[in-house]
Amino acid sequence: MTPPVRTTRRARITSLGRYVPERLLTNADLEKIVETSDEWIRTRTGIERRHVVEPGTPTSELCAKAAREALDRRGIGAEELDLIIVATVTPDMVVPATACVVQDKIQATRAWGFDISGACSGFLYALTTGAQFVEAGTHSKVMVIGADVMSAIVDYQDRATCVLFGDGAGAVILEPSPDDSGLVDFLHEMDGSGARYLHMPAGGSAHPASHETVDKRMHFVRQEGAHVFKYAVRKFAEVSQRLLERNGTSPEQVDLFVTHQANLRIIDAARDRLGFPDSKVVKNIHEYGNTTAATIPLALGTALDQGRLRRGDLVLLASVGAGFTVGTVLLRWSGLEGKGQHG
Ligand SMILES: CC(C)(COP(=O)(O)OP(=O)(O)OC[C@H]1O[C@@H](n2cnc3c(N)ncnc32)[C@H](O)[C@@H]1OP(=O)(O)O)[C@@H](O)C(=O)NCCC(=O)NCCS
C-alpha cells in the first residue's frame, strides 16, 4: 500500500489553544459518589483527577475559549478564519451544529463550518478533513476544534465509566505550508459493528427522549470496557504500523507518539507493540482523564509545555474511539507561527 500521490501544498498546524475547566473531580471525590478507590482508578487507568465544568456549561463555551487562545497566539482576528470544524459527541444541542454557536461566540464573520461526530477519533477526523480544504487551495485558515463536556453524558452511578472521563477543549489553526512540513499522510478506519460496545442509546432518532429513556438512564454513555480495551490496543498498533509502513518510515524515525488518552495501560500497550521508548510518548491522562475529542490537542499542548515538539520532528498521532473509529496521522511538525512561539 503506497500513500496517495501529492500534487498540492501540505496543510500545517500554525497555532494551538486549550481550555480545561478549573473545577477538579479527583479520585477521592469519586470515592464519595460510587464504590471505588483511588488505588483501583490509578492502577487500572492511570487517572488521578479530571477537570469538569460547572453543570450547565455548554461545549461551545470551552470551544470558544480554546479558539480564542489559538487566535491570540497566532496574532490574527477571528474574521480571518475561513472554516470552523468542531469534533464533539457532546454538542450544545442536536440542532444547530456547535460550530455555528462557536462562529457566533468568537465572531468569525467570514467562516462557515460543521460538526464531526467521531467520538475519541473526532479530532483526527476533523484535522484531516480541514486539511483537505487547505490542500485543495480553497481555504487558507481553518480552525479545527476537539471538545467535549463528558460530565454531561456520564452516569455518575456507573463506577465503570464515570471514573474515566473529563471535560476539555483544544483548537488548532491549519494553514498552507510553505515547505514540506505539515500533515504527511493519514489512515483512518471505521467498524460500525462495534457500536454496541460503546454508545449512548437515547436522545437520537432511534430512541427519542421520553420518560422511559430517562427512567432507564439511556441518556448516558454505556460501554463494555474490557472489549473496548482489547480493540483499542490492537488497533492503535495495527493502523499506526500500516501508516508508517506505507510512508517508508519505521518507529525509530518517529520523534513523538501523541496518542488518545483513554487509559494509561492502553497507551503503554500500544507503545510496547510499536516499539517506542517511553521518552517518545506523551501522557497527561493523570491530569485530565479521557476528554474524548480534546485529548490529542491537549496532549500536543502538553508536549509543547514540556519542550518535546521541535520544528522538523516527525509526529505520529493516533486514536481509537466509539463507533468503532480509528484515526492515525503522520505529520512533520512545522513549529507554530505568531507571537512568542517556541514550538
Ligand atoms: C473500564 C476499564 C478501566 C475497566 O478495567 P478492566 O481491567 O477491564 O476491569 P473490568 O471491566 O474487567 O472489571 C473488573 C472488576 O472491576 C470492577 N470495577 C469496574 N470499575 C470499577 C471502579 N471504578 N472501581 C472499582 N472497581 C471497579 C468491575 O465491576 C469488575 O468487578 P467484578 O470482577 O467483581 O465483576 C477498562 O476496561 C478500560 O479502560 N476500557 C477501555 C475504556 C475506554 O478506553 N473507553 C473509551 C474508548 S475511547
**What is residue 259's DSSP assignment?**
E
Percent of the chain with pLDDT over 70: 97
pLDDT bucket at 8, cuts 50 / 70 / 90: confident
Give the DSSP per-residue string, 179-223: SS-EEEEEEEEE-GGGGGGEE--SSSSSS---HHHHHTTTTS-EE
What per-residue confidence (pLDDT) applies to 2?
66
Asked if the model's pLDDT at residue 279 lies above 80, the reply is: yes
The one-letter code for the residue type at 125 is Y
Which residue, by CA, sits nearest to atom 10 of ligand 1?
Answer: 226
Position 269 scores a pLDDT of 96
pLDDT surpassing 70 at residue 7 = no
Output the nine-digit C-alpha cell for 46: 492511570
Q: Which residues are catalytic?
A: 120, 260, 290
Residue 341 confidence (pLDDT) above 60: no
Q: CA–CA distance from 23 to each of 35, 50, 54, 197, 253 (Å)?
A: 22, 8, 7, 30, 39
152 Cα–ligand 1 center, Å: 21
The mean pLDDT value for 2-26 works out to 88
- Nearest CA-CA partner of 261 in 230, 296, 227: 296
Taking the C-alpha atoms of residue 156 and residue 30, their distance in angstroms, rounded to an integer, is: 9
- Nearest CA among 168, 207, 184 for reference residue 19: 168
Q: What value does the mean pLDDT take over residues 77-85?
A: 98
Q: How far apart (Å, rounded) are the C-alpha atoms in residues 189 and 121?
A: 10
Average pLDDT over residues 210-215: 97
For the CA of 260, the closest atom of ligand 1 is 48
Which residue bears the cell 468568537? 106
Which residue lies with its CA nearest to atom 2 of ligand 1? 225
In the DSSP assignment, the letter for residue 324 is: T
| DSSP per-residue string spanning 15-74 | EEEEE--S-EEEHHHHHTTSS--HHHHHHHH---EEE-PPTT--HHHHHHHHHHHHHHHH
* Cβ atoms of residues 26 and 48 within 8 Å: yes
Mean pLDDT of the chain: 96
pTM above 0.85, yes or no: yes
Is the pLDDT score of 61 beyond 70?
Answer: yes
Displacement of CA 23 from its chain's centroid (Å): 20
Predicted local confidence at residue 338, as pLDDT: 81
Q: How far is CA 113 from CA 28, 104, 143, in A?
A: 40, 11, 9
pLDDT at 1: 64
Q: Is the pLDDT of residue 342 over 70?
A: no
Asked if the model's pLDDT at residue 3 lies above 80, the reply is no
Taking the CA of residue 44 as reference, the ligand 1 atom at the shortest distance is: 3
Query: Residue 150 Cα, ligand 1 centroid: separation in angstroms?
Result: 18
Query: How close is the Cα of 223 to the center of ligand 1, in Å?
Result: 10
Burial-class residue 227 by CB neighbours within 10 Å (0-12, 13-18, 19+): middle
pLDDT, residue 152, reads 98
**Angle formed by the axes of helices 225-246 and 264-274, to 10°?**
30
In percent, the amount of the chain with pLDDT more than 90 equals 95
**59: Cβ–Cβ under 8 A, 6 or more apart, which residues?**
86, 88, 90, 91, 92, 98, 147, 148, 149, 169
Summarised one tens digit per residue, pLDDT across range 84-136 is 999 999 999 999 999 999 999 999 999 999 999 999 999 999 999 999 999 99
Grid cell 518535546 is found at: 308
